[in-house]
Amino acid sequence: MYIQTIQLRNWKAYASATLEFPKPGKKKNVVLVGAKNGYGKTSLLEAVLLCLYGKEAIGLLPRLSSDNVSDDKRPQSYDDFLERALHIQATQYGQASASVSLTLADEDDGDVVRIFREWHFTGGGKHRRGEEEVRIYQGPEGEPLHIPRNEDREEFYASYIAQNILPPSLAPFFFFDGEQVQRLAQRELSEQVKQGIEGILGLGTVKDLQKDLRTYATNHKSSARGMGDDKLKQLQLEVQAIEIRLSNNEKELAHLAPQLEPIRRRRDELVRELKAATGGNAATTEELYRKLNEDQRERDRLRERLERLLCGDLALALVGRPLRTLLGRRLTAEEERSQWEVSKAQSSDKLVRLANALKSGTPPIEPPLTKEQAERLDERLQIAWESLWHPAPTSCAAEYRHPYMGTQERHGVRQRLEAVDRLAVGELEELLDKLGNLEKSIRTMQSRISSLREVGDKAQQMTDEMKHLSDREKEIDLRVRDLQREITADKGLHAQKRPALLKELDQKQRSRPELVKVALAEKIIDLLDKTVEDAYPRNVEAIASWMSEAYREMAHKKQVREIKIDGDLNVQLVGERGRDLRSFDSSAGESQIFALSLIAAIANVVRFSVPIIMDTPLARLDVEHRLKVLDYFTDRAGEQVILLSQPTEVHGQYLDKIRSRLSARFLIEHEELGDGLGLNRVRPDCYFEA
């Protein structure tokens, strides 16, 4: 697609102008438009943008974001811009409107589309909002584009242009001026790449679609009656869980309950068998053993007593009572002698005290006793004192026959002898009788136990089985009760939840088409996410590849071998040795080369085939870069490139560089009208050199 005609009426300094561009050829594809600074080059670029996008173009206009325009001259709004754009003489001549017409043609089949946009103003030059006219004509006959019924004309046209010519988001990569390139170059490389790539990949459109699908899903979900999917699913799961639990419990109950009766029956049988086997009492054997043990312990006790009787008391009893009596008396006499002797010994102290009292008491003996008299007195006293104890009592033994015994031993022997005296023959007989009975009882019990032992093993087995059955019955009975309780509870719960679920399912069924569409919308959102995620790196690779190509072609320093962009849009300028060269200071010109490479890459990657319009793009570049940039951007066989140049930009060697590619040239001449106003005229087939 190329621009065939640009027609301006009352647009800036152009009262009326028509620029007709030839179809770009394979060798001649460049249109060169020359104008001095301030003489209408940028006005041409703005006319193209305003014609295509109307008020949408306001963010794309170079003049609005230019650092070189003072605030008082910078348009503040769409209205402001248009009011400044209206040719100064228009209102004077009663022409309260301005228009731009852009005719584009297809290089291959020659199909033509003309976009005409007209703005209306008051007599005072104020923009009449709402009176802006857009018309699109198609085909050789210039048929107006059919607008579907109920479609807003302006919106329909905007959509048509975005789809079929170029979306406004991509316009800065096809229609740009040097300042835009410079501004782009001043950004971080990754920022530049991000802006470019997201624009060309149409992420905005995809995101818009996802947003609309989300809104659609939300609206339709809430309009679909019944509870949300999550809640319904929860209810379904609950009912399902209850049903599964019920089924399992009923199955288990059906399996367990019938087992109880046979177990109980068998248990009763065993009780009966055991009674029979153990003489009617299951505990007989055990009791017999217990009784046997008791009797054996008693027998042992009696035997011990008998032994003691036989070994001790029996010998004393056999010596006879007279001898025991004699010994008893003898021991008593010896005890009395012992006591007499003790009393006598205790009285010796009293004798000494008596003697002393006689000899030294008052009144004193006069004349005092001589020594001999005193000795004789002591002897007499001694004899007299002795006489008091003699003869010894008759009950005292004359001598000791058992001097080895003391008082206590004598007493113990006497008591033992007395006990033997008291020992009755009947007691021994009774002891022997008891022992005899016990022996008999023990023998009987041993006999019974022996007879019972034969059925003991069987009884033990039965007891074990009975215990096992009893445990099992208890276990099953407990489980059966639990199951019955759970089943009752679950049946109640099921009776409550199931109707609620059926009701919701019924409602869901009735709103199914809505929910199906909602599910589809959500699925598509997810699908787009995944596709973008997958496709993004691949497109980034393509951009990086095209940028590498463009950069190598345009940069005169050949250090950069390739431009790499990773998934996070980090940019690397890879040198010949594989090093990232971003750390090296690059000149303003080199930064612009990067920005231009990005622009070129984007223009190459996107599907839109539109002309490139470059407004004074070479200003900050050195000679070699200018040549290379001109060469690279104009080398687009069959694709139109429109260069808007000032006299010092594309001239001399630069002009020579592209001369062979020129398909048309124009010179914009400016006539001063006074008060800083002027009138532009377009001279075809003319350039500064002419």
Tokens 């020359």 found at: 34
Query: If you ran DSSP here, which 8-state letter would residue 311 be given?
Result: I
We find the least distance from the C-beta atom of residue 619 to another protein, in angstroms, to be 28
Tokens 């390139």 found at: 181
Nearer to another protein, 66 or 545 (CB): 545
We find the least distance from the C-beta atom of residue 527 to another protein, in angstroms, to be 5
Nearer to another protein, 250 or 549 (CB): 549
CA atoms in the 13 A half-sphere facing the CB of 41: 26
Distance of CA 473 to the CA centre of its chain: 47
- The helix/strand/coil state of 140 is coil
Given the rule CB under 8 A, which residues bind another protein?
1, 53, 56, 104, 106, 109, 111, 113, 138, 150, 152, 155, 158-165, 167-168, 200-203, 205-206, 208-209, 212-213, 215-216, 219-220, 513, 516-517, 520-521, 523-524, 526-528, 530-532, 534-536, 538-539, 542, 545-546, 548-549, 604-609
Alpha-helical segments (H) within 278-313: 284-308
We find the least distance from the C-beta atom of residue 78 to another protein, in angstroms, to be 13
Tokens 């095209």 found at: 546
d(CA 172, CA 610): 12
Q: At what angle do helices 512-554 and 588-605 cross, to 10 degrees?
A: 130
d(CA 486, CA 492): 10
Nearer to another protein, 489 or 528 (CB): 528
We find the least distance from the C-beta atom of residue 538 to another protein, in angstroms, to be 5
Nearer to another protein, 112 or 489 (CB): 112
Phi-psi region of 492 (alpha: psi -120 to 50; beta: other; left: phi over 0): alpha
Give residue 89's identity as a one-letter amino acid code: Q
We find the least distance from the C-beta atom of residue 198 to another protein, in angstroms, to be 10
Nearer to another protein, 152 or 566 (CB): 152
Nearer to another protein, 397 or 518 (CB): 518
d(CA 401, CA 419): 23
We find the least distance from the C-beta atom of residue 204 to another protein, in angstroms, to be 9
| Residue 681: φ, ψ to 5° | -130, 145
Phi-psi region of 608 (alpha: psi -120 to 50; beta: other; left: phi over 0): beta
We find the least distance from the C-beta atom of residue 81 to another protein, in angstroms, to be 18
d(CA 200, CA 543): 10
We find the least distance from the C-beta atom of residue 173 to another protein, in angstroms, to be 12
We find the least distance from the C-beta atom of residue 42 to another protein, in angstroms, to be 23
DSSP H/E element including 2: strand 2-11
We find the least distance from the C-beta atom of residue 549 to another protein, in angstroms, to be 4
We find the least distance from the C-beta atom of residue 647 to another protein, in angstroms, to be 33
- The helix/strand/coil state of 154 is helix
**Residue 177, token pair as written in the block:** 């001026």
Nearer to another protein, 596 or 667 (CB): 596
What count of other Cβ atoms lies within 10 Å of the Cβ of residue 465? 16
Strands 175-177 and 612-615: parallel
We find the least distance from the C-beta atom of residue 537 to another protein, in angstroms, to be 10
Evaluate whether 85 touches 42 at the Cβ level (below 8 Å).
no
We find the least distance from the C-beta atom of residue 203 to another protein, in angstroms, to be 7
Q: Which long-range contacts (CB under 8 A, 24 or more apart) does 578-583 make?
A: 582/189
Nearer to another protein, 96 or 540 (CB): 540
Nearer to another protein, 219 or 240 (CB): 219
Sign of CA dihedral 73, 79, 85, 88: negative
We find the least distance from the C-beta atom of residue 132 to another protein, in angstroms, to be 13
Evaluate whether 60 touches 49 at the Cβ level (below 8 Å).
yes
- Widest Cα–Cα separation across the chain: 200
Nearer to another protein, 175 or 687 (CB): 175
CA atoms in the 13 A half-sphere facing the CB of 221: 15
d(CA 71, CA 638): 41
Nearer to another protein, 377 or 519 (CB): 519
Tokens 């699109």 found at: 136
Nearer to another protein, 146 or 225 (CB): 146
d(CA 217, CA 522): 7
Nearer to another protein, 209 or 377 (CB): 209
Q: Tell me the CA distances in angstroms from 217 to 212, 234, 525, one per residue in order.
A: 8, 21, 10
Evaluate whether 529 touches 210 at the Cβ level (below 8 Å).
yes
Nearer to another protein, 234 or 531 (CB): 531
